[in-house]
Amino acid sequence: MPVTVVVGTQWGDEGKAKVIDLLSRDHSHVVRYQGGHNAGHTVVVGDEKYALQLVPSGVLYGHVTPVIGNGVVVDLPTLFREVETLESRGVSCARLRVSSRAHLIFPWHQAHDALAEGKRGADKIGTTLKGIGPAYADKARRVGIRAGEVLDAAVFADTVRRRANEENATLVALGGTALDVEAIVAQFTDLAHRIAPYVADTVNELHDALEGGADILLEGAQATFLDIDHGTYPYVTSSNPVAGGACAGSGLGPRDITRVVGIAKAYTTRVGSGPFPTELVGADGEPDTLGQALIDIGHEYGTVTGRRRRTGWLDLVMLRHAVRVNSLTEIALTKLDVLDTFDEVKVCTDYRLEGGMLRGYPDRSEVLAQVEPVYATLPGWKTSLRGASAFSDLPPNARQLVELVEKNVGVPVTMVGTGPERDDCVVRG
Ligand code: GDP
Ligand code: IMO
Ligand code: MG
């Protein structure tokens, strides 16, 4: 299995990091291929909890080369804070590679993110305010600054100064506040000096590694339904988390990929705005009793922004679509243990619209906002899944849910999450 892609199948926070950590044991390189520090990836090892935003989740293993691929937008202050925290906890980041083609995030991107959200008012996307959208917009406008540019310090400083002045003019015209240009130049001159040793031609390095027999894991952030093309536009992020994005964002080709693992939570969560058919909310828009139970038991608060996540039942219409657009070979079903105390568990199998059944996932958010979920109701298992080490250890009612998912979406569930810790997982042979 030389190249494996791990991709979120819902709206993020499915537990990708835990599965990546698990799969990292058998891989030599773990490559982030899109997104930036809008991601919050949590790995729990014994009493230690690691919250990662930019550094690939394979970093905890000494044999793994963590790579920030060309498709990522990199916030250098965050990256160094993360590296310092990891190193202070005994995790070496010396092997980290940052693609020379990756675009950098600057303070004006965050300022534009906040201004744009402010202008949208009640219609805001609910972004993480990390400057992700504006950084990708600059990349598309061909005015972005790439990591490789730090290698010529003098030119880099001039470019940052020029771009900062240009962006100040735009920020002020939009009603924002001008940034301190020379403070930014000084800060990024120092950061450029520090990042330079990590900057590499990761595309050729990964191909060389592959030719030498390496096993490479491509780590998706965000998820299929936050994808800028396939998600619930405009309530999406500004990159392509889908498996196809793993090629563009790493430089490996489609024929290099041998395995695509979709991560699905046993229920659904979403942070920020946008349609959510199976959401468990009352008429007041607040979580209902079961929705609140999922928040409390599943600790559904964002790691990056601390926002409460919206919660709802598992949606197999979404999952079937995720199988299609990502060519999933399998699914890892995480956080099944969160449902341990539920009397019954619902799973959405279809969408009804204006009296008829919809074929396929709607292509427009306006339509998605109107669908009515059709549910299958399964009995709960009312017992703890913790400690299960084989699929046959799971209670029959939990196995029934897993089998319903497999039958409905057409690919096997190869892993089942039974708790937050590294080994709280049942892997099916
Ligand atoms: P990611 O963004 O997809 O990597 O997911 P996050 O790390 O943001 O959120 C997943 C949360 O669920 C983290 O706090 C994980 O420690 C936790 N988690 C992952 N898998 C499981 C599981 O199977 N059971 C439970 N109870 N928690 C899990
Ligand atoms: P991980 O990798 C959940 C959401 C934001 C917002 C939308 C756009 O941890 O699964 P952005 O700042 O990207 O422009 O925000 O996307 N969002 C996430 N939601 N998990 C994430 O990452 C997310 N990254 C962005 O809440 O709705
Ligand atoms: Mg997350």
We report the CATH number of the domain holding residue 134 as: 1.10.300.10
- Is the CB of residue 219 less than 8 Å from the CB of residue 43? no
Residue 123 has pLDDT above 80, yes or no: yes
Please check whether residue 389 lies inside any domain of the structure. Answer: yes
Q: Are residue 161 and residue 291 in the same domain, yes or no?
A: no
Final residue of a structural domain among 195, 229, 253:
195
Q: Are residue 292 and residue 403 in the same domain, yes or no?
A: yes
Catalytic annotation present for 190: no
Q: 14 CB under 6 A from ligand 1?
A: yes
Q: 37 CB under 6 A from ligand 1?
A: no
> Span 280-285, mean pLDDT?
94
pLDDT at 341: 98
Going by the DSSP 8-state scheme, the letter that residue 158 receives in this structure is H
Phi and psi (nearest 5°) for 245?
Answer: -65, -20
**CA atoms of 421 and 16, how far apart (whole Å):** 13
Q: Are residue 283 and residue 140 in the same domain, yes or no?
A: no
Strands 65-68 and 29-32: parallel
Please check whether residue 124 lies inside any domain of the structure. Answer: yes
Q: 39 CB under 6 A from ligand 2?
A: yes
Whole-model pTM: value is: 0.97
Final residue of a structural domain among 195, 212, 234:
195
Residue 228 has pLDDT above 80, yes or no: yes
Q: Which of 120, 237, 269 to mutate to test the pocket of ligand 2 (most atoms within 8 A of CB)?
A: 237
Please check whether residue 275 lies inside any domain of the structure. Answer: yes
Q: Which amino acid is it at 124?
A: K
pLDDT at 141: 98
Q: 138 CB under 6 A from ligand 1?
A: no
Please check whether residue 80 lies inside any domain of the structure. Answer: no
CATH of the domain at 398: 3.90.170.10
Please check whether residue 219 lies inside any domain of the structure. Answer: no
Please check whether residue 139 lies inside any domain of the structure. Answer: yes
Q: Which ligand has the shortest distance to the CA of 20?
A: 1
* Dist. CA 222 → ligand 2 center (Å): 6
Q: Which of 41, 311, 335, 338 to mutate to test the pocket of ligand 1 (most atoms within 8 A of CB)?
A: 335
Q: 38 CB under 6 A from ligand 1?
A: no
Q: For residue 250, count other CB atoms closer than 10 A to its CB.
A: 30
Please check whether residue 327 lies inside any domain of the structure. Answer: yes
Per-residue pLDDT tens for 134-188? 999 999 999 999 999 999 999 999 999 999 999 999 999 999 999 999 999 999 9
Q: Are residue 309 and residue 420 in the same domain, yes or no?
A: yes
Residue 238 has pLDDT above 90, yes or no: yes
Q: pLDDT category, 18, cuts 50, 70, 90?
A: very high
Q: Are residue 175 and residue 270 in the same domain, yes or no?
A: no
**CA atoms of 242 and 229, how far apart (whole Å):** 9
Residue 305 has pLDDT above 90, yes or no: no
* Dist. CA 51 → ligand 3 center (Å): 9
| Atom number of ligand 1 nearest to Cα 424 | 23
Q: 38 CB under 6 A from ligand 2?
A: yes
Q: 8 CB under 6 A from ligand 2?
A: yes
| Atom number of ligand 2 nearest to Cα 271 | 26
> Span 79-87, mean pLDDT?
98
Q: Which residue has the tokens 């027999």?
A: 213
Residue 68 has pLDDT above 90, yes or no: yes
Final residue of a structural domain among 147, 164, 195:
195
Q: What is the mean pLDDT of the chain?
A: 97
Q: Are residue 283 and residue 412 in the same domain, yes or no?
A: yes
Q: Are residue 280 and residue 169 in the same domain, yes or no?
A: no
CA distance readout (Å), 128 to 105, 305, 403: 14, 7, 36
Nearest CA to ligand 1 atom 16: 420
* Catalytic, out of 13, 21, 315, 340: 13
Catalytic annotation present for 230: no
pLDDT at 303: 82
pLDDT at 429: 72
Nearest CA to ligand 1 atom 18: 420
Total domains present in the chain: 2
| Atom number of ligand 2 nearest to Cα 221 | 2
Q: Are residue 190 and residue 287 in the same domain, yes or no?
A: no
**CA atoms of 97 and 66, how far apart (whole Å):** 6
Q: Are residue 274 and residue 359 in the same domain, yes or no?
A: yes
SS3 content of the chain, % helix, strand, coil (to 5): 40, 20, 40
* Dist. CA 41 → ligand 3 center (Å): 5
Q: 238 CB under 6 A from ligand 2?
A: yes
Please check whether residue 227 lies inside any domain of the structure. Answer: no
* Catalytic, out of 27, 41, 103, 109: 41
Domain containing 156 equals: 103-195
pLDDT at 48: 95
**CA atoms of 361 and 314, how far apart (whole Å):** 15
Give Cα 165 distance to the centre of its chain: 33
Residue 1 has pLDDT above 70, yes or no: no
Find, among 385, 3, 33, 2, the residue nearest to 242 by Cα.
33
Q: 420 CB under 6 A from ligand 1?
A: yes
Q: Are residue 186 and residue 320 in the same domain, yes or no?
A: no
Give Cα 240 distance to the centre of its chain: 10
Q: 404: helix, coil or strand?
A: helix
